[in-house]
Amino acid sequence: RYYREVLPGEIVKISRHDVQTLDVVRRLEGDPSAFCIFEYVYFARPDSIFEGQMVYSVRRRCGQQLAIEAPVEADLVSTVPESATPAALGYAQKCGLPYVEVLCKNRYVGRTFIQPNMRLRQLGVAKKFGVLSDNFKGKRVVIIDDSIVRGNTISPIIKLLRESGAKEVHIRVASPPIRFPCYMGINIPTKEELIANRPEFHDLANYIGADSVVYLSVEGLVSSVQESIKARQENNPKTHKSFIGKLGHCTACLTGDYPVELEW
């Protein structure tokens, strides 16, 4: 059963009798916390609860914010199964478009990102999904993805949809472009591998074969993550009395603004 989060710097003793806080290492000079914002975007399970809110709900808000920032004339909204589904539902709800499944997952194919080269990753993607062509033939489709890192796995999906009858394919990304490496423990590809740092990014739609591509803004992501936390703090300050310091999230992979000073 979910009990509560362990606070940053908190030392907890768990026994069969109770849960005790032994100590809390306070941050220097009252610096704000720097919880990894990409946990909300991609890494965490949708049913995880961070900072008093469910990850699924945050991802849905990201989709709603994306619809405000990047609407498009289309017939339906869908997703690349399954991590971006909450964002796609939020986008569809905000735009007033139907959410329709266009791809189904082949559960007998392994993870594509661990393949040793791009060609094998692209072949893996082609095998990974089946196409529900009756759902989108002759229609303008908006595909919501949670992130585009290298840009080489979304291309075969777009190609697959076009070959199966999609009239238009618009890509909307429920997070900002990843531009910087993470030195806090997440294995992000090198700066040169990230599509946001490559020349192709300036004409990304053409590069991946889409009619348009728009990412969620950094401000839009931060507001989607912090909206519920701020509302609870304003309505009931005691709710988050145990949280030490100011509200903060690490956006270093998006902005290059690291929460600690790098020594190199």
User: What sign has the CA pseudo-torsion 194, 198, 200, 202?
Assistant: positive
For residue 119, the SS3 value is: helix
User: What sign has the CA pseudo-torsion 110, 111, 116, 117?
Assistant: positive
Beta-bridge mates of residue 214: 172
pLDDT attached to residue 97: 98
Provide the total of helices (H) and of strands (E) in the chain, helices listed first.
8, 12
> What is the distance between the alpha carbons of residues 187 and 195, in angstroms, rounded to a whole number?
16
Q: Given its phi and psi angles, is residue 122 left (phi above 0), alpha (psi -120 to 50 degrees) or beta?
A: alpha
Spell out the alpha helix ranges (H) of 70-106.
85-95
Looking at the chain, the domain(s) classified CATH 3.40.50.2020 span: 56-219
pLDDT attached to residue 32: 78
The two structure tokens encoding residue 44: 């965490």
For 100, 174, 180, the CA distances from 91, given in Å and listed in that order, are 12, 9, 27
Give the 3-state secondary structure of 54-104. EHHHHHHHHHHHHHHHCCCCCCEEEECCCCCHHHHHHHHHHHCCCECCCEE
Which among 75, 71, 62, 59 is positioned nearest to 95, based on CA atoms? 71
For residue 185, the SS3 value is: coil
List of E strands, 110-238:
129-131, 140-145, 168-173, 212-215
Question: The pTM is what?
Answer: 0.86
The two structure tokens encoding residue 24: 């809390």
- Domain 56-219 is found in CATH 3.40.50.2020: yes
pLDDT attached to residue 114: 42
pLDDT attached to residue 2: 62
Pair type for strands 103-105 and 129-131: antiparallel
Q: Which residues of the chain have pLDDT under 70?
A: 1-2, 29-30, 108-126, 236-246, 264
